Structure 1
Amino acid sequence: MEHRTADPVLAEGPAAYGRALRAHLSEEPLLKEWRHTGHVPTEERMAAHARLMAHLYKTGWNRYGWPKEAGGLGGDERHRAVLYDELAAAGLPVPGAHMLLETLGPPVVRFAPHLAARHLPAFLRGEEWWGQGFSEPEAGSDLAGLRCRARREGNTYVVSGQKLWTSHGATATRLVCLVRTGTLESRHRGLSMLMIDADAPGVTTRPIALASGDNELAELFFDDVVVPADRLIGEEGQGWGVAMYLLQFERAMYAWLSSAEALRRLRELRDAAASRTAAGKRLPGGAALRLGTCYTDLVALRARSARTVLALASGRTVGPEASVDKVLLATVETGLFDLAREVLAEDFVLGGDAGAVQWRADWWYSRSATILGGSAEVQRTILADHVLGLPREAKP
């Protein structure tokens, strides 16, 4: 007897999911709250995005692509990719918390299903979100040198140390942290991953304001913070393996999500350029060509990223070749917002409306595109060594 899924959206595949979602986004009047809102402080934006996530959860749309055991409705990475595309096409933002959901959610589902069942539904509902605590003052690119320590005491870990550049650390409810449970000499073999409540006694959070004034990051201090041992993600000493598993989603799903957002912003820039022309304002020389270049860069990114997303959806491990996605994404983001600065001209520099403020904030954030999550130089070295097999430079 042929087995048929009870959910017609899953039965008909991601394309049918996309069509049904598109109809909902175009017809739902409640969604106007999130269209073209412009720039607001980080805390207000995350709260507004949390309300959007609550709506998407209530209507079921952001539950596709996540396992039922963790609050989802089934499906795979393709459904999540379609969600981001359809939100952006409808002029809606991809909720900021989804960037860390894509990075941290998959490893928690795989290595700590009990934590996924307990906390992921609240994440999807927008009731909480998580920060990523990896980097430290003396261990940024070299994560194997982490010093933030967690010592086992019975059924708990006691965490002491510091984290820096913690993504969403200023507003997160929980923190997924890479900590040292072995000796410093054990390097990556002595690392473990823990989920820590941001309001636990002994946790101090110091927001780090970006040049735009947004509190996207934070510095964290742990002073003998007691964490239940069941908050371990994976086994003790398995933190490096969990982090490597996480990395493929950070490269793939984050790149696809960001490309959807970039397409939305490119459309807005195109419309802004047309409005300036209609108002008799001149565009910089070659503006049309550069808009086309930005679009072709985006197409290249999405063509590459689509292969990576499909690999994840089929259960294949994505290796060092995912660094291509990271390099292409940095190219897109820096190129797009540099062009916005030139096309919008005096409005970009002096405009006081929410739209102009948002363009400036995005430009500032794009300055980190070639650094955060692994610098462009590191990505190119990975590609040279592990994908292309190029000979190493001779030492002098």
Structure 2
Amino acid sequence: MRLSPFTSLDAFRGELRAWLDDHDLTPPAGHDLDAQVAQLARVRGALWQAGWMRYGWPREVGGLGGTGALRAVLGEEVAARGLAEPGIWSMVEVLVPTLIDYAPPPLAAELVPRLLSGEEQWCQGFSEPGSGSDLASLSTRAAPSGDGEDGWTVSGQKVWTSLAQYAARCVLLARTGGPGHAGISAFLVDMDSPGITVRPLRTMHGVDEFAEVFFDDVQVPASRLLGAPGDGWRLAMDLLPYERSTCFWHRIAHLYSRLDRLLADGCEPDADALGGAWLDLHTVRCRSAATQARLAAGSRLGPETSVDKILLAGAEQRLFDTARDLLPGTVELADGPWRTEYLYSRAATIYGGTAEIQRNIVARRLLDLGKE
């Protein structure tokens, strides 16, 4: 494992590519969700042991230092080679910065390496049946434990929780005070705690990626509070931009690989349609490159990443619309990868904040257009 810093991103990419060429991490056949999660653990484990998974993270949590741009390059190379499903790969980029910023340092030092190394999977308990896009109205409650115990008792329900059935931990938002933002706190909950029930949800593309999670008087130690009581909304606002930064860089690489596959599959030679799909991808890649540069320079991301989300969702849906149009019958009549990915792309304007919510954020917080 190399411990010395790289002189440039190009040097990092070059050595990484050489290592990947020498180590076969190709996914096995029969790539259902169980196999995808197992493959994710396999890839992370190999990259951790070789050191690649540790670059871009601070040494305090087992990293080797360097900027987040190193992680972006790693994710891009993994996605371009199809080594891990990009959606579930991204959970590291969402949850690890949150733990580093809000967990007690000893807790982050103990648990973050388990996620980075593939030893564990984690999930994110935000959305609820009555408060999806309106996160501030969540009703899952955490109350101080009775009988003099030092901790919290959590009761409520979460929904659309990705990979909850595989997760060892959950970054959970719960109400510890009154209504509104100030009454929300965040916790890192062990998913094997008594009182937790997970029920997978089958999506229209045939995968149990999401789940309902029920909390019935679940005991959470005081040491698992992230930040201070009432910091939950601030944590959520810090976390969400990470869903739209480094995560997007490898998602874009994945979509470029699908455009290449569209051409390889002998699609109809429609230059306008193919050019439009390519231009949308190029536009969001340019936008994301600027976001990666700001992140690497130490800037704190904020509402401007909603622009990235809008562009990526539009590019993804246009790409798969183009595939449907230029490969007649492949989506409608064949039960293969194009059908599955086309159906999944319909959610691109919903997950991570709907397109309508993102446009409201741009209007109100970036353009100062007010509430109407």
TM norm structure 1? 0.88
Q: Does the aligned pair in 2 maintain the 1:170–1:207 contact within 8 Å?
A: yes
Aligned counterparts of 1:19 and 1:231: Cα–Cα separation in 2: 40
Aligned counterparts of 1:378 and 1:335: Cα–Cα separation in 2: 20
Label 1:381 to 1:96 Cα distance change in 2 as closer, same or farther (>3 A). Answer: closer
State which of 108, 115, 124 in structure 2 corresponds to 1:132.
124
Q: Does the aligned pair in 2 maintain the 1:87–1:94 contact within 8 Å?
A: no
Q: Does the aligned pair in 1 maintain the 2:168–2:192 contact within 8 Å?
A: yes
Q: What's the counterpart of residue 27 of structure 1?
A: 22
Aligned counterparts of 2:127 and 2:63: Cα–Cα separation in 1: 30
Say which SS state the counterpart of residue 218 (structure 1) adopts.
Answer: strand
Aligned counterparts of 2:82 and 2:156: Cα–Cα separation in 1: 42
What are the ranges of 5 or more consecutive residues in structure 2 without an aligned counterpart? none
Q: Does the aligned pair in 1 maintain the 2:240–2:352 contact within 8 Å?
A: no
Aligned counterparts of 2:227 and 2:340: Cα–Cα separation in 1: 37
**Superposition pairs of residues 253-264 of structure 1, within 5 angstroms:** 253-264=246-257
Q: Does the aligned pair in 2 maintain the 1:26–1:90 contact within 8 Å?
A: no
Structure 1 residue 392: deviation in Å? 5.4
Q: What's the counterpart of residue 202 of structure 1?
A: 195
Give the counterpart letter for 1:385 in structure 2. Answer: R
Structure 1 residue 39: deviation in Å? 6.2
Q: Does the aligned pair in 2 maintain the 1:93–1:261 contact within 8 Å?
A: no
Q: What's the counterpart of residue 149 of structure 1?
A: 141
Structure 1 residue 91: deviation in Å? 4.3
Q: What's the counterpart of residue 306 of structure 1?
A: 289
Structure 1 residue 224: deviation in Å? 0.4
Give the counterpart letter for 1:341 in structure 2. Answer: R
Aligned counterparts of 1:42 and 1:92: Cα–Cα separation in 2: 14
Say which SS state the counterpart of residue 173 (structure 2) adopts.
Answer: strand
Aligned counterparts of 1:95 and 1:261: Cα–Cα separation in 2: 7
Q: What's the counterpart of residue 355 of structure 2?
A: 376
Aligned counterparts of 1:344 and 1:60: Cα–Cα separation in 2: 41
Label 1:138 to 1:55 Cα distance change in 2 as closer, same or farther (>3 A). Answer: same
Label 1:52 to 1:247 Cα distance change in 2 as closer, same or farther (>3 A). Answer: same
Between the aligned residues of both structures, percent identity stands at 45
Give the counterpart letter for 1:202 in structure 2. Answer: G
Q: What's the counterpart of residue 154 of structure 2?
A: 159
Deviations along 1:152-195, one digit per CA (max 9) or x if unpaired, are: 22322110001111122232221111111112x3x110111111
Structure 1 residue 94: deviation in Å? 5.0
Aligned counterparts of 1:109 and 1:317: Cα–Cα separation in 2: 14
Give the counterpart letter for 2:359 in structure 1. Answer: R
Deviations along 1:273-302, one digit per CA (max 9) or x if unpaired, are: 2xx6xxxxxx2xx63322222111111111
Q: More deviation in 188-197 or 264-273?
A: 264-273
Q: Determine if the alignment matches structure 1 residue 329 to structure 2 residue 312.
A: yes
**Superposition pairs of residues 1-396 of structure 1, within 5 angstroms:** 7-8=3-4, 10-28=5-23, 30-31=24-25, 33-34=26-27, 40-93=31-84, 96-112=87-103, 113-153=105-145, 154-183=149-178, 185=179, 187-273=180-266, 283=268, 287-352=270-335, 356=336, 358-390=337-369, 393=372
Structure 1 residue 88: deviation in Å? 3.0
Q: Does the aligned pair in 2 maintain the 1:53–1:95 contact within 8 Å?
A: no
Aligned counterparts of 1:303 and 1:95: Cα–Cα separation in 2: 19
TM norm structure 2? 0.93
Aligned counterparts of 2:85 and 2:119: Cα–Cα separation in 1: 16
What are the ranges of 5 or more consecutive residues in structure 1 without an aligned counterpart? 1-5, 277-282
Aligned counterparts of 2:221 and 2:314: Cα–Cα separation in 1: 42
Aligned counterparts of 2:219 and 2:116: Cα–Cα separation in 1: 26
Label 1:42 to 1:91 Cα distance change in 2 as closer, same or farther (>3 A). Answer: closer
Deviations along 1:346-390, one digit per CA (max 9) or x if unpaired, are: 3444445xxx2x222211111111111111111111111221233
Instruction: Give 4+ residue runs of structure 1 displaced > 6 Å after superposition.
Output: none
Deviations along 1:77-108, one digit per CA (max 9) or x if unpaired, are: 10011112222333433565431111111011
Say which SS state the counterpart of residue 167 (structure 1) adopts.
Answer: coil
Q: Does the aligned pair in 2 maintain the 1:25–1:90 contact within 8 Å?
A: no
Aligned counterparts of 2:37 and 2:364: Cα–Cα separation in 1: 39
Aligned counterparts of 1:139 and 1:241: Cα–Cα separation in 2: 17
Across the aligned residues of Structure 1 and Structure 2, the Cα RMSD in angstroms comes to 1.9
Aligned counterparts of 1:127 and 1:121: Cα–Cα separation in 2: 8
Q: Does the aligned pair in 2 maintain the 1:49–1:95 contact within 8 Å?
A: no
Q: What's the counterpart of residue 279 of structure 1?
A: none
Say which SS state the counterpart of residue 57 (structure 2) adopts.
Answer: coil
Q: Does the aligned pair in 2 maintain the 1:46–1:95 contact within 8 Å?
A: no
Deviations along 1:96-130, one digit per CA (max 9) or x if unpaired, are: 54311111110111111333211111111211111
Aligned counterparts of 2:215 and 2:82: Cα–Cα separation in 1: 40
Structure 1 residue 303: deviation in Å? 0.9
Q: Does the aligned pair in 2 maintain the 1:148–1:161 contact within 8 Å?
A: yes
Number of equivalences: 367
Label 1:269 to 1:163 Cα distance change in 2 as closer, same or farther (>3 A). Answer: same
Label 1:213 to 1:117 Cα distance change in 2 as closer, same or farther (>3 A). Answer: same
